[in-house]
Structure 1
Amino acid sequence: MLRAIGFALVSLCLLAATPAHAQDDSVERVRIRGSQTLASGLVPAVASSWLRDIGYGDLRVVRKGAALTEIHAVRDDVPLIVEIGASSSAQGFTDLVDGNTQVAMMTRRPSPAELDAGWQLGDLASQDQEFVLALDGVAVVVNQRNPIAGLSLAQLQRIFAGQVRDWREVGGVAGALKLHMAQRPGAAQDLMGERVMRGVRWAPAQKHGDVRGLLAAVGADERAIGFVDLQQVLPAGVRPVALSDGGRAIAPTQVAVMSEDYPLTRRLYLYGSQMMGALARSFALYAMTLPGQHAVERAGYRAVTLRPGRALATQAGPVDYRQLVRDAVRIPLSLRFNFAGNNDSGVAASVYDSRSVRDIERLAALMRQPGLSDRSLIVIGFADVGAGSPAAAMMMSNDRADLVAHELMALGLRVVHARGMGALLPLMRSAGDARYRNERVEIWLR
């Protein structure tokens, strides 16, 4: 009898302890894991906007420690939790492969080794599984009175490794070079480490508790140099430096960043498997829409949207190129091609990379706006010098320009010129991913 009473008491205790946990497990969840850069503010902002726009209310943000944020919401009395776990791009991809997340957040594309490990996920270079959420990057800044015109990434590495001590060693005016960095590493330092330092040790630098202090120090010293996020507004007395990666030096203008021609720009990605759930796919697709991109902007990042600027005199490039784009306005994109993705048949799902597929759709929508529907487009293709010969590069660039022009005309857009410029105006020396960077198509509005 006592044993029966004991079992009954234990059972009652278990039942009393179970409901909260059982209820928690019964709630549908969208799990998003990966890069700290995306998890810290960008993805929560887009996820909250998505939930509101698809009819969820009673949103509550719950911090479950430094590495996990939950957004609780309810629609039609049915709860939903969006889990956003901060770790790293590598861990996010591992979680995707292992089935521990539905969406991976990454500041880069998966490596060949990662793609091999995740072969079962499908074609991770296709627009159905790769989503370019936003752009970020780094501006290298100097004092406004510093006359340095531009720097290469190789020179930047030597500067921040302490191997350059005087400005004249990199083409500037003689004077001791002074390094400035933020006290706490962040996204800007991560990108500099990945693209510039490449494993080389950082030299000692004057450290600042915040970006404002760093910029104030650079603005007060003609010999200073530092770097900040591209989103940072620069104060008077501080200017960004044009940078090159084996090609021409490019300043971080709006168009150069949006087109990814500026070398220290990077994409912020979402990835999902080919079997990702309906709600997870809804979130990823929403992030590609105009409302989703508005949420990206509100979070302080560069949205992947198209807004033509004003006509500027183009100094770079051959005479034919400058004449072709005279009085035209550059659309802030560079269409690039799919050299990474393949489906089960071994054929790329699209000739374009995932961003370019959507940029073509965005361009068609842009050109339907009042005031633009009667305007025409100029399509200019470029190739990589690795095509084999100048003649082969010219042929390839013409083929790319014709391909894009025909697609735009099929969408009802008016194209007045489609020209190839061969391997002229390279963005990167012919090594590594140079073909992907250099083989591109520009669109100009006239």
Structure 2
Amino acid sequence: MNQATSVFINYSSAVMLGLTALFLINRAIPQIQDLINGGKSRVKPYSSVPSNATTTSRPVATKQPRTFEPPIIHPVENDFDLTEVEPYPFRPFKNKKYNMTMATRRLDPEEFFVLERTYLNRINLKKKILKERPQNHMICHESAIPALREIYDTTFDFLLKRFPMYFETIDDGKTFHNKITGDWFPMDNTKLSVDELLVNVSLNVEEDFLFMLKNSDDPDFSHEYMLRGTVTCFPGGFDPVAKANLPLTKIHGPVPHYKTKLQTSMNKFFTRLQPYEYIVRNNWSIQPHTKLSALSGNHASKDDKEEDIVPLNVNELDFNKVFLRVEKQCFTRLPKTGAIFMLIRTYTTPLSKIRAEGRGNDLCGAIDGLDQELGVYKRRAYWGNAAKSYLKYETDGLTSEVSQEEFWFEN
């Protein structure tokens, strides 16, 4: 073998080794990207099996239901003072066309119930509502009593763990003491009436609560959850008791596009929700009045026509008393009874504050982003032009001042 031949063979071997190395590196790139991106590379690994082929060489993966562990609820910091905690500034509106979706997201279990400076004011208002007109705000179906008892224990246990400076047990653990209101409640709920269970839970949390079971009496809705109980002291324009013992589809009957855009996803959501899984979502509306507890008036009825609505006069409005109303809706499944436990916490922010935050144009875009049917349902023709005129600084209404005092809502 002469020198030239030897050089050629060595060169050829080096080339082949190099090409082989490049091929192997190319094959490894997707896996390397997966490692870097936490297993989320968009590059599909090479496979010798065509995408439309079937094979019995390996078992088909089956999707197992997710399970969640009971959460550990830690106490808040020792210096926690609810009177210093401002209501969370939820601003779920977007300056674009409204897209009707569930828009759910994960919730920290420790944020299921919260304490803010509005607590005592809202509890006192609840006491008044439940004393004067309980028939409009609370109800429980016989089949849901075990779930209600589980809610009672779940709520009191959470408050004791999360806010020990405000809630305690006395009498060797037999009595629950709310140090904010000064009220006492029995820890053992087995001898309490349904009304006592409902009231006792409600008067310790600012949130309204609902509970649902999949136990329909109507075979056409056997696949849907039924609203089997609630204490809703702060409805946003509906009668809570009239919604009781109805399936989800009938509860949302007046809501435009529900059947086409939300019915399927909502039914799947409630069916798949697991014990100890916590989910939250928000919705928003505008209310040009000062009633936190509104049994009617915030939504159009089926007989209302947009052309018959007389718009508000912007120059006659104090926009410290026209509100962005946002609901924080929280969901979990109770581990013992399997009932869906839902909380609704209502936040009301004067439009004067929204404008002062510089969010006026965004809210105007969200108001315009409602389609015709949703606009009618939310009564946009009544308050829409006045609200937008104020938010765009075209007018100050009755005053340009932003109220600094807490507004005490009428019942």
The verdict on a shared fold, with TM-score over 0.5 as the criterion, is no
Greater strand content? 1
Higher RCO, Cα 8 Å, sep 6+: 2
Q: Which has the larger radius of gyration?
A: 2
The bucket for the TM-score relative to the shorter chain is under 0.3
